[in-house]
Amino acid sequence: MTIQSTYHPPHTITPPIVNLISQISEVVGRLTVLIDNLKELRLRRINRFRNVIVL
């Protein structure tokens, strides 16, 4: 038994849309790297503080 789909989305993917999606993905990737770096710096500061207290 086969089911045929007659649904057609109300949009089409055009080259400008693909370009915008790629630009958004690039910005999200850069933000992810920045956030990861900030988290790493924060952890280093916390560890440095803990080491000073322990000593």
Interval 9-37: pLDDT, tens: 888 999 999 999 999 999 999 999 999 98
Q: What would the DSSP string read from start to end of the chain?
A: ---------S----HHHHHHHHHHHHHHHHHHHHHHHHHHHHHHHHHHHHHHHH-
pTM score, two decimals?
Answer: 0.57
pLDDT of 55 strictly over 80: no
pLDDT of 1 strictly over 80: no
